A = this chain, B = another copy of it.
Amino acid sequence: MYADTIEKELRKQGIKTGDRIKVEYSGVTIEGELMPKTGVGSPDTIIVKLKSGYNIGINFVGTRVTKIAESEGPIKFPAAKLKQDQDLPKISLIITGGTIVNKIDYRTGGVYPLIKPEELFHDVPELSKIARIAMKNPFSMASEDLSYSEWKTLAEEVVRELGSGSRGVVIAMGTDTMHYTASALSFMLQNLNAPVVITGAQRSGDRGSSDAFMNLICSAHIAAKSDIAEVGICMHKSSSDNECQFLRGTKARKMHSTRRDAFRPINDTPIAYVNKEGGIKYNGQYKKISGNSKTTAKTKFEGMVALIKTYPGSDPAVIDFYLKRGYKGIIIEGTGMGHTPVTPSKKEMSWIGPIGEAIKKGVVVGMTTQTLYGRVNSNVYTNLRKISELGVVYCEDMLPETAYVKLGWLLGNYDANEAKERLNKNIAGEISSRTELGEFLV
């Protein structure tokens, strides 16, 4: 809805969203479709979609707005004829929702998830030159709503697709929690012997600046022809459109709310760079496809694991809250090399007692750092040793989000002792034995 005064004026003129209108002011005349108010931008503007497809905001005050024609009703998305080249490798595209598969019908404001291959090939004709594509749509959800039950579904879907002849899988999803999903699949998929490429878009396909098409194309190239046998995220390398990067699923993180190059490797470098033409530059170590081993999935997950960030004044009683709820694991996102408040001026703010209590009750507690970059190390300072001596597992250079997913997965599949034992041992690239140059802020 536009501001009340604007809505009132539009109603007076009999104008509604989707109508073709003419806007005149100071000698300028603009023709286009009236878009619904998206909430972005000044409340005093109306949004008009030009013939070129671009939207512009126009300050309503002082303009003359007249109707040219009624709305033509919902947009019909044309479908391209589906021609799949049988000589190309087969890959699977699993569509789950998110900005990448949204087409917004501005006439109605409705969002249409794109799920038919025909529609996809209309928007991204390049795809049909890269691979034969089997499309699946196990669910359609926003990524902020996904959790371990969907991760499980996805892992099973990947196993099924790889089992039925696909040489790689692309998963299209929302970006918000993409790195959590990538971690989960990294742990769940066993003997993975194919590229599993997770992708998405920061801007939807109907915007000129959309990254959806290039991300899909680059992901398809990785799935169709790379020799990478890992789960990773394939998104823009920079804010320009020249390359995507394929990031290890356990070492990637969304580091910007809106930029197209929001996903960055943390304590790692990209596994590969890929361009729209299919050029793949490999970079550093990765697991390669070899032999004919069959990919399986170990999808059990213990949901009673919490990720807790500590900070000055943070209340350690929250540990007791989780204990009472029956939680089995806790990952702490501490400060620096893995600190919590230990001897603060208010004694009841020390985390030592509650953490010790949790460990005594058999809860597995892991330590990571909110600096994100770098490594925790329990040996440097006295306070760190006090925490570590309680039995807290210092998780090396593992990301807090990855450690959270890993502990849930471990406790789903092993007893507490074994889960604790495995928490700071590398399984899926989540822990690097040493830090390389060029891993900070790239």
A311 at the interface (CB under 8 A from B): yes
Task: Find chain B residues with CB under 8 A from A312 CB.
Answer: 146-148, 151, 177, 180-181
Secondary structure call for the A interface: loop
Residues 34-51 of chain A: 1 if any B CB is under 8 Å from the residue's CB, otherwise 0?
Answer: 000011100000000000
A372 at the interface (CB under 8 A from B): yes
A264 at the interface (CB under 8 A from B): yes
Q: Once the chains bind, are A341 and B311 in contact (CB under 8 Å)?
A: no
Residues 333-345 of chain A: 1 if any B CB is under 8 Å from the residue's CB, otherwise 0?
Answer: 1111111111111
Q: Once the chains bind, are A345 and B257 in contact (CB under 8 Å)?
A: no
Most buried by B among A256, A318, A338: A256
A262 at the interface (CB under 8 A from B): yes
Task: Find chain B residues with CB under 8 A from A378 CB.
Answer: 39
Task: Find chain B residues with CB under 8 A from A314 CB.
Answer: 306-307
Q: Once the chains bind, are B144 and A255 in contact (CB under 8 Å)?
A: no
Segment touching B, from A65-73, A127-135, A379-387, A426-434:
A379-387
A215 at the interface (CB under 8 A from B): no
A424 to chain B, nearest CB (A): 15
A254 at the interface (CB under 8 A from B): yes
A286 at the interface (CB under 8 A from B): no
**A374, B263: Cα distance in complex, Å:** 12
Q: Once the chains bind, are B311 and A315 in contact (CB under 8 Å)?
A: no
A150 at the interface (CB under 8 A from B): yes
A64 to chain B, nearest CB (A): 27
Residues 167-203 of chain A: 1 if any B CB is under 8 Å from the residue's CB, otherwise 0?
Answer: 0000000011100110000000000000000000000
Closest chain B residue, CB of each to CB of A313: B147
Most buried by B among A257, A262, A334: A257
A142 at the interface (CB under 8 A from B): yes
**A322, B142: Cα distance in complex, Å:** 28
Task: Find chain B residues with CB under 8 A from A89 CB.
Answer: none
Q: Once the chains bind, are B372 and A142 in contact (CB under 8 Å)?
A: no
Question: Which residues of A come within 8 Å of B, CB atoms?
Answer: 38-40, 141-151, 175-177, 180-181, 254-259, 261-262, 264, 303, 305-307, 309, 311-315, 317-318, 321-322, 325, 333-346, 349, 369, 371-381, 383, 385, 401, 404, 408, 440-442
Q: A39-B378, A313-B408 are in contact. List 15 more A-B contacts (CB 8 A).
A: A141-B343, A143-B335, A144-B340, A145-B343, A146-B312, A147-B345, A175-B336, A177-B312, A255-B372, A255-B441, A258-B374, A258-B375, A259-B374, A307-B309, A307-B314
